[in-house]
Amino acid sequence: MIALPDLQRTKEGWEMQFATNHLGHFALALGLHGALAVAGDARIVSLSSVGHQRSPVIFDDLNFTSRPYDVGLAYGQSKTAAVLFAVEATRRWGSDGITANAVHPGTIAATNLMRDLDPDVLAHLRDSAPYAETFDASKVRYKTIEQGAATSVLVATSPQLDGIGGRYFEDCNQARILAPGAPLTSGSGVAAYALDPANANRLWELSLALLGLKQ
């Protein structure tokens, strides 16, 4: 789910993008843990986005109850959560032969993923991007569906990644880590906060509590 123009919450009160892009997948992964462990050498591909650069997970206000709703920030924190999940899943489940990595597939226009984006919202996202000052829509490299799937397929199948997890990939390569506090002026790379082990553990524990699960 990407860029809901208005604040929407689930019946539990969770912001919809965070609930859909993180909590739902988190619950699914926990439900599959036993089967993945039995399978041996299992891999999880967590779909993130360069949009994670817009925001870390704001633990004190996940659901925009005390700050104005911002479509880019909401999407950004949900995609940061996808990276943090990969970090912590690998730490917790590596001994079970399970690894997880996060992937940015690229900009793909040939699906209905952006069905909620009207031109005004798209313009807002563009202008509020961390790299907005250097943004040039004419230079955006759109990928085909096949090209967009390539990094996910690589991470899921390549022998070069046997036993490797907790990382973020884009364009079929591991992404460079952006220095903490550095201005996010490009459309590539992974923010350091998205790979932070303390953030990853905190998100995991919070997610368990929100869902009423134990692990």
**Residues forming the active site:** 75
Contact 104, 168 (CB under 8 A): yes
Helices (H), 140-214: 145-157, 197-211
- AA identity, residue 40: G
Dist CA 166 CA 48 (whole Å): 13
Dist CA 119 CA 50 (whole Å): 20
Residue with tokens 């919450």: 9
Reading the block at residue 23, the tokens are 């909590």
38, containing H or E segment: helix 24-39
Contact 200, 88 (CB under 8 A): yes
